[in-house]
Amino acid sequence: MERILRDFFLFLSKNEHLTKAARRYGLRFGAARFVAGESLEMAAAIISELNRKGLSVTIDHLGEFIDNQHEAEERANQCLEAIRIISNNQLDSQVSLKLTSMGLDISEQVVMKNMRKILEEAKAKQVFVTLDMEDFPRCQPTLEVFKKLKAEYNDIGTVIQAYLHRTEKDIEELNAWHPNLRLVKGAYKEPREIAFPEKSEVDANFKKIIKKHMLNGNYTAVATHDDKIIDYTKNLVMKHGIPTDRFEFQMLYGIRNDKQLDLVEEGYKVRVYVPYGTDWYGYFMRRLAERPANVAFVLKGLLKK
């Protein structure tokens, strides 16, 4: 049943018509649990509150299916504004973005122009930028853009997904750039020729790449809500004497809030991924796909209305 639900919500997440329709109806149907409002001002207030609790943040202006240059430029300008607000308000926050929202599917010229504009502002304001990973067809293009930009800018990272067969090789090849990487399980539906079909296989590969990237001496963000992966990471850093300033845990806004605070109390750095904006639909569907408990929460909320 869990796999059926996962496949169903991942199928819905890629529906462009539903994505566009969702923009008209706002953060209803439980999405506000996982999305910090539709405006940057609303998100900034939440970032400030999370910071007061000892949590760091990475903020993401949601957006998918960008297919024209003007809209990509608008998305880039919104990222610039987020960087300025982070700096002006001295918020403990980074910026995450999807390259498709910057024009990856339009042309290399468009995406590189927008990214250099963002990274110049990020460099001036000392704000770190992470390139989120998307579905498999965008994996290699994203890594190629990352490598080119990493040669020009220091404060940039990207994301590696444990469920892909190619991932261990990617970790090895990226080591030459000494990258700051967010390591995740992966939240897209891919065929078994591309991705591990079983959770046990994904978990095993996740542990493998955490260990490899950490022992390579690179900064590692372990993005998980899984207690077994969290405990594995704790034991790994203890065994190898990896200092706490060389890694962090990352979790999603609205999921396992108590665990986030418990980790902070234990002395670990925790960063919360805080999305905002009107293009919440695809992100929301993937959160429902990840955990049946999320579906139960939304249904419970709807029944109360």
- Which residues are part of the catalytic machinery? 132, 182
Q: Report which of 259, 279, 250 is spatially closest to residue 58, judged by C-alpha positions.
A: 250
The DSSP secondary structure of the chain, one letter per residue, reads -HHHHHHHHHHHHT-HHHHHHHHHH-S-TTGGGTS--SSHHHHHHHHHHHHHTT-EEEEEE------SHHHHHHHHHHHHHHHHHHHHTT--EEEEEEGGGGTTTT-HHHHHHHHHHHHHHHHHHT--EEEE--SGGGHHHHHHHHHHHHTT-SSEEEEEETTBTTHHHHHHHHGGG--EEEEE---S---TTTB--SHHHHHHHHHHHHHHHHHTT--EEEE---HHHHHHHHHHHHHHT--GGGEEEEEETTS-HHHHHHHHHTT--EEEEEEESS--HHHHHHHHHH-HHHHHHHHHHHHH-
Distance CA 61, CA 74 (A): 11
